[in-house]
Structure 1
Amino acid sequence: MANIVVIGVPEDGCLSLTSRAVSAVSQARVVAGHPRHRVWFPQFEGIFLDMTQGFSNWLNQVIDQSEEGDVVVLASGDPLFFGIGGTLLKQLPASDLSFIPAQSSAQLAFSRLGLPWHDAAYLSCHGRGLNGLVARMQQGALFTLLTDKTNTPQVIARHLKTYHETHWTLTVCEQLGSPREQIRTFGIDELAQCETEFDPLNILVAQRGSPALWGGHGQFAADESFLKRMPQKGLITKQAVRHLALTAMCIRQDDVVWDVGSGSGSIAIESAKFAARGQVFAVECNDACFDSLQANIFAHGTDHVQLITGSAPAALADLPKPNAVFVGGSRGEMDAILTGAWAALQAGGRLVVSAVTMDTVSEVYQWASACELQFDAQLVNISNTQPLAHYQRYQAENPIHLFSFSKEQSFVKTHLFVKKTVVSEGNS
């Protein structure tokens, strides 16, 4: 028999408890949990470990007591749904634990709303920041959001509004399963302005009201969807080149991405749409770009993109180690930027550099040669149609060199760099 039995307690207490759960508590030597769950078991006279004393201390006591067995942990709903079950499984072997779940808060919420929930996703805002919430919500149409005393329903609604996600319908479900249960539905603007103090035991159900993703701009957004520095039209990596660069970066959904010399932020923002569960850093030192870059982040709903206002390579020093790096500008510090980015790049990562001028091409080539690094290079010549009277003609864009470096898992370290053991070089 397991040393710890974790019991999910419904909010109506004994009315919905199974006989198996009641029996487990009656035979327990130690019961641990929140006092509001303890009141449902007045017959228990053993040791009670009160969770409100402080979670870390409480958890250590539970683990210590489990060595003698006959411990019951009381939790809300399903303890394996964003609950204490996951925490205990990180501390103890699965064989030491058994679970008797009640209905989860999400299950109760969807049943009250009459919504099929097999395609729903579950996001926790409990004990964490909201950055990345909007990005995660681009991956579906129906969500359960777990709140806390800081990330209240109103705070979540305001965050969604900041990133122009105003089409959602939000339903606040309080005290589900208890006699004090209450369910209220709001629009984003209405909930953002609502002054009601909701019960702390609440969850949000979010239903998408529009199929448009990423602020209506979608993935692979057009150049026109990005504000640029005024009065000049730049700085932006144009759409065709941007797509090639993103392909070369091989971005995965949990990746950390650096966009160095971000300009309008187009590479950072489009990278973020691939790395929807990751982190993206737009590094830019030109203060004339800051307002438009931040406005683009809001407009595209990429709330996991962070603007880093400073000059590289110094601005890169404290960032998390990246899985992919794009360098679109250097301000004369190309060698130092590439050296720092390559040293920080995680194994299996990709470094992509765009070069507009012959001088920059030479700098990148000389850096790669000095470090004995192999690369793929593309010379990108794009021409777009332009009207000419009743005809169409082609207008050539500036040619762009794209250099791609791959930091393979099997590299051998030499000095600050990693030497590639398999050579693949091409031009197009």
Structure 2
Amino acid sequence: MLWPYTTPGISDDLFERLPGIPLSKREVRLLLICALRLKADSVLWDIGAGTGTIPVETGLLCPKGKIIAVERDEEVASLIRRNCDRFSVANVEVIEGSAPDCLEGLHPLPDRVCIEGGRPIEEILKQVWQYLKPEGRVVATAANLESLYLISEGLAKLQARNIDVVQAAVNRLETRGIHQIFAAVDPIFILSGEKLDS
């Protein structure tokens, strides 16, 4: 078994990767998963699932739940499936399509949504909010100030409550030649908000 633990934080090198396809670094995944506040039976939509690290981690953490991973690229969608197979995660469904257009008709409806670098972010956020169950949570990442502004403005327009913004700056010890140095992982903003009970 590749990851025999009940805790999240799978090592990045255990995932199969494709050149140029983003992978949420382990430390960032930990913050994302904390912000999602998952339950054993959570239904999570992961929009822009990339390598599939979030679907794998959350699939293991929510054994009675359902994870829907949305990815527009067919080759990347296949990569997500392979990574789920590597970790024996059976509760992930991969949907090939571009958000927000492919979201209509997806079931089950989510109580958690993770948006990783999707465009157009405003439209995706507005659309998932319609499907999000009352008391549900949205967590989104922003790698630049423009995305940070669009997501925070979007959450405000949707009247999200308990909005939280964290800027993660992580350094990892790496060996380069004969020296060990701390190398920075690209900084990222993690935003979250909750939907009021309707």
TM-score when scaled to structure 2?
0.91
Deviation at 1:407, TM superposition (A): 2.1
Q: For residues 315-330 of structure 1, what are the structure 2 equivalents within 5 Å?
A: 315-319=102-106, 320-330=108-118
User: Counterpart in 1 of 2:61?
Assistant: 274
Code of the residue aligned with 2:110 in structure 1: it is: P
Match of 2:152 among 365, 373, 378: 365
Q: Which residue of 2 aligns with 1:401?
A: 189
State the 1:271 CA deviation.
0.8
Identify the residue that residue 353 of structure 1 maps to in structure 2: 140
Give the gaps of 5 or more residues in structure 1. 1-214, 414-428
Question: Aligned pair 1:227/2:16, yes or no?
Answer: yes
Residue identity opposite 1:226 in structure 2? F
Question: Which residues in structure 2 correspond to 1:26-105 (within 5 Å)?
Answer: none
The residue aligned with 2:27 is 240
Identity of aligned residues (%): 25
* 1:111-147 deviations in Å (ceiling 9; x for gaps): xxxxxxxxxxxxxxxxxxxxxxxxxxxxxxxxxxxxx
For 2:112 and 2:155, the matched residues in 1 are separated by 17
Q: What is the distance in 1 between the residues matched to 2:92 and 2:117?
A: 18
Q: Which amino acid aligns with 1:335?
A: E
Which whole-Å CA distance do the structure 2 matches of 1:323 and 1:337 have between them? 16
| 2:131 counterpart residue number | 344
8 Å CA contact 1:253–1:278 kept in 2: the answer is yes
In structure 2, C-alpha distance between the alignment counterparts of 1:275 and 1:370, rounded to whole Å:
30
* Cα deviation 1:138-186 (Å, max 9, x = unaligned): xxxxxxxxxxxxxxxxxxxxxxxxxxxxxxxxxxxxxxxxxxxxxxxxx
Partner residue in 2 for 1:379:
167
Question: Is the 1:272–1:302 contact (alpha carbons within 8 Å) kept by the matching residues of 2?
Answer: yes
CA distance, structure 1, for counterparts of residue 27 and residue 74 of structure 2: 26
Equivalent residue runs for 1:100-139 within 5 Å: none
Relative distance call for 1:250 and 1:405 in structure 2 (3 A) is same
Match of 2:101, as an amino acid?
A
- TM score, norm. by length of structure 1: 0.43
The structure whose RCO (Cα within 8 Å, separation 6+) is larger is 2
2:2–2:14 CA contact under 8 A, matched in 1: no
Q: Tell me how many residue pairs correspond in the alignment.
A: 193
What CA distance in whole angstroms lies between the structure 2 residues aligned with 1:405 and 1:316? 20
Residue identity in the other structure for 2:15: F
Distance in 2 (CA, whole Å) between partners of 1:370 and 1:323 is 20
Superimposed CA distance per residue, residues 297-321 of structure 1 (whole angstroms, 9 cap, x where no aligned partner):
1111111101100011122111221
Residue 179 (structure 2) aligns with? 391
**Counterpart secondary structure, 1:363:** helix
Decide whether the 8 Å contact of 1:356 with 1:399 is kept in 2.
Answer: yes
AA at the equivalent of 1:291: S
CA RMSD of aligned residues (A): 1.6
Deviation (angstroms), 1:385: 0.8
1:322-373, CA deviations, whole angstroms, 9 ceiling, x for partnerless residues? 011100021x311111111112111222110011122211211221233333
Partner of 1:139: none
In structure 2, what is the Cα distance between the partners aligned to 1:274 and 1:224? Answer: 20
Q: Distance in 1 between matches of 2:60 and 2:171?
A: 26
Match of 1:289 in 2: 76
Q: Which residue of 2 aligns with 1:310?
A: 97
Aligned-partner residue type, residue 225 of structure 1:
L
Rounded Cα–Cα distance in structure 2 between residues aligned with 1:313 and 1:298: 27
**SS state of the match for residue 382, structure 1?**
strand
